[in-house]
Every structure is written in structure tokens, then in C-alpha cells.
């Protein structure tokens, strides 16, 4: 597994505002949208393109275009939905599959409550969107779900990751013969006793969409 922490002053600036408890929901949503676009720029560095010949108003030249099958973007509901528009702005021809996952706040076990994905993901570049990689249980389960469908190339974009979550993910995915990359804006130092990232930004889903009840 490869972990890439994007080191850019604009990313750090926006992340600081995102973390701030005084940031209201509309501003939080806008910052998530902007941050994912910046992270996606790094995350798509290896997106597959092929050569094409075109003609400009001045003359012929060659360039590249995204090749088929188009990438698949997979937001993890709920909070990952807040990252979808920003991602699609960069990859407008991508297809979108959905995974609904929820972490039990007592046991910290992730479970899947919804799924709408293509049956066969082989040969697709899959971009998983989830703002928080805390214990790593949700992302590990999501990656297993995708590889069970044949996914062979997975990049996760997380706004924030915790070191121990990344270590757990690496352990959980050991033996999986699929390249996995995690792109994040920051690697935070720890989790608290409720499994929240410290210093983190709180509950991403609640800050985006309000309390789920
Ligand atoms: O790394 P983990 O310890 O598994 O925790 C991270 C998960 O927790 C949050 O989702 P949550 O379960 O709160 O659902 P929500 O997006 O509906 O709020 C977050 O969006 C991740 O999916
Ligand atoms: O810090 C955390 C951990 C899990 N889920 C969140 O939304 N935030
Ligand atoms: Mg939540």
C-alpha cells in the first residue's frame, strides 16, 4: 500500500479551516468540495490515457485522452458523498458506484447497508472517496468489497487519515494482490477512545449533513 500525504500550502490552509469548530456546515461543504479537487489532482497522476490525433484551429497535433473503460468513482455514504462533485469536476466522464457503510460507534465495526456497483470491476481504475480514515475498518471493508468484484487498481482519497488506521489497513490488506494507494491531506497522530481522529475535524458526516440520529 502506498500512502501519499499531499504537501501543499493551499491544501493545508483549507484543511485548517475545515478542522476549525467554528466553520459552519455551508462553509464546511464548500471546503470539502475544494479540497477533494486538489487531492484528486494528485490522486489521478496515474490515470490511464492513450494517444490521440487532433486538429487545432492552426494545424494537426497529437495529445492524450482518458481511455475506456472510464474510471469508476465510489463515494462511501454518507460523508463521501460530500466529495463527489469536486471529484467529478476533475473527471467528468467517470462513472459512479455507491457504497453505503456505517461504523458502529460502540464496537467501531463497519457494516455495509447499501451497494450499487458494476458487477465486474476488473480493468477499472477505482477511486474511493471517504473523508475520514480513522481505525481503517471502513476503508478496509470497502476495498475488500471492490476486490471481491474484481477491482485490480484502487486509489482512496481521504481528507484526513490517522497513522494507526493506515497501519491497520496495511495489515488487513496484506496478501491482497491489488495495488492500493491512499491520498490524504494530512496524517494525524492518534485516535481517541471513541475512535475519532485527534486532532481531526470531528464527525465529517454530521458536519456535512447534520446529526443522523
Ligand atoms: O476508519 P473508520 O474507523 O472505519 O471510520 C471512518 C468512517 O467513519 C465515518 O463514517 P460513519 O460511519 O460515521 O458514517 P457517515 O458517513 O454516515 O457519518 C467516515 O466517513 C468513515 O466512513
Ligand atoms: O474522526 C472521525 C472518525 C470517524 N468518523 C468521523 O467522521 N470522524
Ligand atoms: Mg459519521
Q: How confident is the model at residue 212 (pLDDT cuts 50, 70, 90)?
A: low
Q: Is 212 annotated as a binding residue?
A: no
Residue 185, pLDDT > 60, answer yes
Report pLDDT digits (tens) over 106-134. Answer: 999 999 999 999 999 999 999 999 999 99
What interface predicted TM-score (ipTM) does this complex get? 0.98
Ligand 2 binding pocket, CB closer than 6 Å? 79, 132, 134, 195-197, 200, 203-205
Peptide bond into 199 cis (omega under 30): yes
The domains located in the chain, with CATH, are 2-48+66-209 (3.40.50.2020)
Cα 186 from Cα 180, distance rounded (Å):
18
Q: Whose CA is nearest to atom 6 of ligand 2?
A: 203
Cα 24 from Cα 51, distance rounded (Å):
45
Q: Whose CA is nearest to atom 21 of ligand 1?
A: 132
Q: Is 69 annotated as a binding residue?
A: no
Q: Which ligand is nearest to the CA of 201?
A: 2
Q: Are residues 116 and 165 in contact, defined by beta-carbon separation less than 8 angstroms?
A: no
CA dist 98 to 90, 91, 93, Å?
18, 16, 16
Q: Is 16 annotated as a binding residue?
A: no
Amino acid at each position: 500500500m502506498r500512502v501519499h500525504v499531499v504537501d501543499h500550502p493551499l491544501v493545508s490552509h483549507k484543511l485548517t479551516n475545515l478542522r476549525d469548530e467554528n466553520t459552519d456546515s455551508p462553509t464546511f461543504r464548500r471546503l470539502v468540495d475544494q479540497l477533494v479537487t486538489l487531492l484528486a489532482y494528485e490522486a489521478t497522476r496515474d490515470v490511464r490515457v492513450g494517444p490521440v490525433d487532433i486538429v487545432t484551429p492552426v494545424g494537426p497535433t497529437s495529445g492524450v485522452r482518458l481511455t475506456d473503460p472510464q474510471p469508476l468513482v465510489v463515494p462511501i455514504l454518507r460523508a463521501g458523498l460530500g466529495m463527489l462533485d469536486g471529484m467529478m469536476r476533475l473527471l467528468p466522464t467517470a462513472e459512479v458506484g455507491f457504497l453505503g457503510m456505517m461504523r458502529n460507534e460502540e464496537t467501531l465495526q463497519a457494516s455495509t447497508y447499501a451497494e450499487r456497483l458494476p458487477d465486474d470491476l476488473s480493468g477499472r481504475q477505482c477511486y474511493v472517496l471517504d473523508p475520514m480514515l480513522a481505525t481503517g475498518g471502513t476503508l478496509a471493508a470497502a476495498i475488500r468489497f471492490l476486490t471481491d468484484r474484481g477491482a485490480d487498481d484502487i486509489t482512496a482519497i481521504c481528507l484526513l487519515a490517522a497513522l494507526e488506521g493506515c497501519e491497520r489497513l496495511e495489515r488487513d490488506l496484506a496478501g491482497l494482490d491489488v495495488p492500493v494507494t491512499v491520498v490524504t491531506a494530512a496524517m494525524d497522530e492518534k485516535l481517541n477512545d471513541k475512535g475519532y481522529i485527534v486532532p481531526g475535524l470531528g464527525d465529517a458526516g454530521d458536519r456535512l449533513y447534520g446529526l443522523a440520529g
